[in-house]
């Protein structure tokens, strides 16, 4: 689990925040598109926490379906929601003139309750949201993530840190495409950047003449053969992912600065354009805090002795 439901205050403590889980259920269902008919309120609720309405659009018109929502927040005890927690479901729907039942739980329904709800499906509309289903919905959309940041601030902050997204810096999304198949190598950060230097340099001057982006494996071999058929080159390569972590980016930029300060290196226009594209398009990925995995990766490289690209 990514979201810690214990961040939502307990429902059985009268401290002013005991309604938070019900309010969360209301906002969650609104994100899904339900209309709130009856808001959560204090006091005896007759085994209903709120009532929502769903509009179903079909060939014969629009149908309105009212759902009774029952919220059970048992994350602190870790217990499942039992059948005794949800008595007389069908009678409760009749009392509140509803056609469907929604169980909204921070844990799971028990086997007994699950069997009862399953048995009611032939008579009434039923659905349940357990902690796994709730989390899945929240993490799959911008609206869900916004709601998660409100009710699970610590879990959300940890999630964003470990699952970074590039910032919106340029008018177009950043991309680096394989020069063979045009796949965007920034989508899963699995490609490589290859520099080709002439093997017959004179006067001790190293000239990087060509460069290309590639998927690893077969496409790299094809592109390398394409260049070396015309002229002899020695290749150097680096994982593009090294440019998408903050410390990795800084280390690589410093390596290029050291390279440019040297007197025995040249970069032709073709290679220079590729380097510029790499630096510009990976920058939106690194203006953030490092993930735990990136920190460990940098430590490993330092332990082994990080080698310069060139």
**For the segment 6-58, what is each residue's pLDDT rounded down to a tens digit?**
999 998 777 778 899 999 999 999 999 999 999 887 655 555 689 999 998 87
The answer to whether position 45 is within a domain reads: yes
CATH of the domain at 147: 3.40.1350.10
Residues 154 and 219 in one domain: no
Closest CA to 73 of 126, 32, 20, 136: 20
The answer to whether position 183 is within a domain reads: no
Determine the Cα–Cα distance for residues 211 and 277; give it in Å rounded to an integer.
11
The answer to whether position 177 is within a domain reads: no
Q: Around Cβ 265, how many Cβ atoms within 10 Å?
A: 15
The answer to whether position 186 is within a domain reads: no
The answer to whether position 170 is within a domain reads: no
Average pLDDT, stretch 117-123?
92
Q: Are 167 and 287 in contact (CB under 8 A)?
A: yes
pTM above 0.85, yes or no: no
Confidence of residue 166 (pLDDT cuts 50, 70, 90): confident
Provide the mean pLDDT of the chain: 87
Closest CA to 47 of 112, 95, 9: 95
Phi, psi of 266 (to 5 degrees): -130, 150
Closest CA to 125 of 94, 102, 91, 97: 102
Structure tokens at 269: 């226009």
Q: Are 11 and 74 in contact (CB under 8 A)?
A: no
What integer pLDDT is reported at residue 154 of this predicted model? 97
The answer to whether position 49 is within a domain reads: yes
Kindly tell me if the per-residue pLDDT of 307 is higher than 70. no
Closest CA to 286 of 197, 188, 169: 169
Determine the Cα–Cα distance for residues 159 and 237; give it in Å rounded to an integer.
32
The answer to whether position 273 is within a domain reads: yes
Average pLDDT, stretch 187-198?
89
Q: Are 266 and 208 in contact (CB under 8 A)?
A: yes
Residues 17 and 141 in one domain: yes
Q: Which of 162, 180, 207 is the last residue of a domain?
A: 162
Rounded to an integer, what is the distance from CA 272 to the centroid of its chain? Answer: 34
Residues 140 and 16 in one domain: yes
- How many domains, the chain? 2
Q: Give the angle 42-45-51 at the CA atoms, nearest 5°.
A: 100
Residues 229 and 280 in one domain: yes
Kindly tell me if the per-residue pLDDT of 309 is higher than 50. no
Residues 241 and 281 in one domain: yes
What integer pLDDT is reported at residue 202 of this predicted model? 63
Rounded to an integer, what is the distance from CA 134 to the centroid of its chain? Answer: 15
The answer to whether position 256 is within a domain reads: yes
* Residue bearing the bigger pLDDT, 310 or 108: 108
Average pLDDT, stretch 231-238?
86
What integer pLDDT is reported at residue 310 of this predicted model? 39
Domain membership of residue 229 as a residue range: 192-304
Least confident of 24-28, 158-162, 180-184: 158-162
């Amino acid at each position: 689990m990514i979201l810690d439901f214990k961040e939502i205050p307990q429902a059985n403590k009268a401290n002013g925040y005991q309604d938070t889980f019900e309010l969360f259920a209301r906002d969650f269902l609104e994100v899904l598109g339900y209309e709130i008919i009856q808001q959560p309120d204090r006091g005896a609720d007759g085994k209903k926490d709120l009532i929502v309405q769903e509009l179903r659009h079909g060939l014969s018109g629009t149908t309105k379906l009212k759902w009774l929502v029952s919220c059970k927040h048992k994350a602190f005890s870790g217990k499942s929601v039992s059948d005794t927690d949800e008595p007389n479901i069908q009678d409760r729907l009749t009392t509140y003139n509803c056609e469907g039942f929604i169980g909204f739980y921070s844990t799971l329904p028990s086997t007994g309750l699950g069997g009862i709800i399953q048995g009611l499906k032939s008579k009434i509309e039923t659905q349940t949201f357990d902690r796994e289903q709730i989390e899945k919905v929240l993490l799959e959309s911008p609206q869900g993530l916004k709601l998660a940041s409100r009710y699970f601030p610590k879990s959300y902050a940890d999630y964003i840190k470990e699952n970074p997204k590039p910032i919106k810096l340029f008018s177009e999304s950043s991309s680096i495409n394989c020069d063979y198949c045009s796949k965007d190598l920034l989508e899963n950060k699995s490609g490589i950047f290859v520099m080709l230097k002439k093997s017959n340099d004179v006067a001790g001057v190293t000239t990087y003449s060509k460069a290309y982006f590639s998927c690893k494996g077969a496409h790299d071999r094809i592109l390398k053969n394409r260049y070396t058929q015309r002229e002899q080159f020695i290749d150097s390569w680096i994982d593009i992912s090294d440019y998408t972590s903050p410390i990795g980016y800084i280390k690589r930029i410093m390596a290029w600065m050291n390279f440019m300060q040297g007197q025995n290196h040249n970069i032709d226009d073709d290679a220079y354009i590729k380097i510029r594209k790499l630096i510009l398009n990976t920058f939106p990925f690194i203006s953030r805090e490092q993930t735990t995995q990136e920190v460990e990766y940098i430590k490993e490289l330092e332990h082994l002795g990080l080698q310069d690209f060139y």
